[in-house]
Amino acid sequence: MATTDVDQALADPELERTEWNLDPLVDGRGEDGVDDQLAQATELAGRFAERYPGKVGELDAAGLAEAMRELEAIYELVSRAGSYAHLRFATDTSEPSIGALLQRAQERGTAIETRLLFFELEWAAVPDERAEAILADPALDFCRHHLETIRRYRPHMLSEAEELVMTEKSVTGRSAWTRLFAEVASAIRVGLPEGEVSLEIALSKLQSPDRDVRRGSAEAITEALEPTLRTRAFIFNTLLNDKAVDDRLRNFPDWISSRNLSNEASDESVQALISAVTARYDIPQRWYRLKAQLLGVDRIADYDRMAAVTGEEPVIPWGEARDLVTDCYQEFSPELGAIVRRSFEDRWIDAPLRPAKRGGAFCASTVPDLHPYVMLNYTATRGDVLTLAHELGHGVHAVLGARQGIFHMSTPLTLAETASTFGEEIVFDRLLERADNAESRLALLARSIEGSIATVFRQTAMNRFEDRVHNARRSEGELSVDRISELWIETQSAMLGDSVELTDGYARWWSYVPHFLNTPGYVYAYAYGQLFALSVYRLYTERGEEFVPRYVELLAAGGSRSPEELGEIVGVDLADPGFWDAGLALVEETLEKTERAARDANRVG
């Protein structure tokens, strides 16, 4: 990659002008608009809290529909205000007034949520026979699945007084411990030859083509993790026990049960997923053996897993990326192509690198009558083109799902990656077609297979670690650093086999992963969503254009049905291990293509 080409691509005026227009969220009134919306929502929530307590069980279908419409208005105001504050902060994390606005929106939003808590508790307490009769009324079509989902928590809800205590105390309980972990982890500084750097920057050095740099960075990371390791382990232990107490009070049978419930995933489908993935641990092991050949070593170490296998990295200017992604979506479906085109034309995207802008990329849904916002940090690589395709897939899904209204516009986490991964695959195939030599194809394919391994196999191995550590904490009591590290190495080794050397220091690397503390059990949703999307993409490659309408119907259903019911739209059974095998077969095919590209590039024998 020529540096001048990159500089020229990033200085493109068209890219620099690609920034959000957030005015529609607050009617062009900025912070005043946020405060006014929250004030309106607070007033409406107060009226709601005066009108309905003790009466939810008496409502007929028409009365319940009226109440839900009132909640809809409150939620939309809170969502508009919260979205504006969040998106402003994402593009400028250094301005104190913007940070204060975000905190104000979060605190006032939580206060409103607390005022409305009684409604869900009273609705969940309605007898089943009466609830079923009420929900059969067409007047509740716009919120039926949402109301059904609330009732799924019925066996696990406490009394209103107890729930209020749990909500109030969470600020000084779990939330306080996770904030402490975040502050301790973010304070970690890693000593590298060029000076002290953040943990995130040090981890990025593991992609260096120089093995000495990778090894040195890994050793420095391990050293930097040590000073506060016992503190982070104590926080982890505390939160493990906190969850055990919550699960006991709420009568959840297993540590993962509450997560499955929130993901609307049956225990059967989750177990089918985990069984299918762990049965194919040979795929990552096979890739890492190939990678050892590509890097010219007998066996890679843990610090080699992220290393680039080729220096091939063409520069793709913003205009070219926009046209490529739009064309791919348009060719697949004119309806989806039109949404993608609007994303560019109507300023739904913020793409340039800027000081104090949040790293990474995301797509944020807002409210049904507006549109989502996509954030990127575009650096003109093919990886960034695929990220653009991925986030616009989320955007397409959000636009289509918004037709379901605020209660049903978003899918559970388990299917949230469907459209994004699908869109990325379409654009990936186009980039692969355009690759003009074996080295270029190898670079693309290596990126793809490593992405799948990170999302599917590594996240499943992390799920197995969580399973072991939660159960060990409940049966053994407080776990030592060494015991947690032992469970980490056991579950990582099960995935990697003898294909990767795990160094002594790597045993401590569980200690900076925030998901284990912030959202226990969350990680399998990555694998679930990725394999669902890949399996659906496989159906498209097999059936062609006739499959497109069913796929669009799936996206347009939003979260109005359970994942299993949404899967039925495209003719798949999520409880069938064979379904997950279809997605894994696509990952294996990518690996086979990578092996051929490596041979074609004369990189292996």
Q: What is the mean pLDDT of residues 359-388?
A: 89
Residues 65 and 140 sit within 8 Å (Cβ to Cβ)? yes
pLDDT at 176: 80
Classify burial at 308, counting beta carbons within 10 Å of its beta carbon; exposed 0-12, middle 13-18, buried 19 or more.
middle
Q: What is the mean pLDDT of residues 25-44?
A: 95
pLDDT at 4: 52
% residues pLDDT > 90 (the chain): 61
pLDDT in tens, 123-136: 999 999 999 999 99
Query: How far is residue 319's CA from residue 344's CA, in Å, rounded to a whole number?
Result: 10
pLDDT at 308: 85
CATH fold of the domain at 23-157 = Butyryl-CoA Dehydrogenase, subunit A; domain 3 (1.20.140)
Both structure tokens of 374: 């996509």
Alpha helix positions (H), 92-210: 96-124, 128-135, 144-152, 160-169, 174-186, 199-204
Domain borders along the chain are 23-157, 179-311+440-518
Query: Among 79-88, 286-295, 571-580, which is the least confidently predicted range?
Result: 571-580
Q: What is the mean pLDDT of residues 402-419?
A: 90
3-state DSSP assignment of residue 160: helix
pLDDT exceeds cutoff 70 at 171 = no
DSSP 455: I
Q: What is the mean pLDDT of residues 163-168?
A: 79
**DSSP per residue, 213-265:** HHHHHHHHHHHHHSTTHHHHHHHHHHHHHHHHHHHHHTT-SSTTHHHHHHTT-
pLDDT at 3: 46
pLDDT at 414: 82
pLDDT at 1: 40
In degrees, rounded to 5, the angle at the alpha carbon of residue 558 between the alpha carbons of residues 557 and 560 is: 70
pLDDT in tens, 546-591: 999 999 999 999 999 988 888 899 988 877 767 788 889 989 999 9
pLDDT in tens, 201-214: 788 788 888 999 99
Nearest C-alpha neighbor of 19 from the set 378, 386, 385, 400: 378
CATH fold of the domain at 179-311+440-518 = Neurolysin; domain 3 (1.10.1370)
% residues pLDDT > 70 (the chain): 99
- Number of Cβ atoms within 10 Å of the Cβ of 179: 12
Query: How far is residue 557's CA from residue 571's CA, in Å, rounded to a whole number?
Result: 15
Confidence at 380, pLDDT banded by 50, 70, 90: confident
Query: Among 50-64, 69-83, 359-373, which is the least confidently predicted range?
Result: 359-373
Q: What is the mean pLDDT of residues 313-329?
A: 93
Predicted TM-score (pTM) of the model is 0.84
What lies within 8 Å, CB to CB, of 290 at 6+ separation is: 591, 594, 595, 598, 604
pLDDT at 525: 85
Query: How far is residue 35's CA from residue 167's CA, in Å, rounded to a whole number?
Result: 24
pLDDT at 2: 45
Q: What is the mean pLDDT of residues 143-162?
A: 89
Higher per-residue pLDDT: 157 or 76: 76
Query: How far is residue 419's CA from residue 401's CA, in Å, rounded to a whole number?
Result: 11
- Number of Cβ atoms within 10 Å of the Cβ of 234: 15
Q: What is the mean pLDDT of residues 277-304?
A: 96
What lies within 8 Å, CB to CB, of 597 at 6+ separation is: 438, 441, 442, 445
Give CB contacts under 8 A, 24+ apart, made by 90-97.
Answer: 90/357, 90/358, 90/362, 90/375, 91/19, 91/20, 91/350, 91/354, 91/357, 91/358, 91/375, 92/354, 92/356, 92/357, 93/356, 93/357, 93/358, 94/355, 94/356, 95/356, 97/31
Residues 313 and 386 sit within 8 Å (Cβ to Cβ)? no
Q: What is the mean pLDDT of residues 176-197?
A: 85
- Number of Cβ atoms within 10 Å of the Cβ of 143: 24
3-state DSSP assignment of residue 182: helix
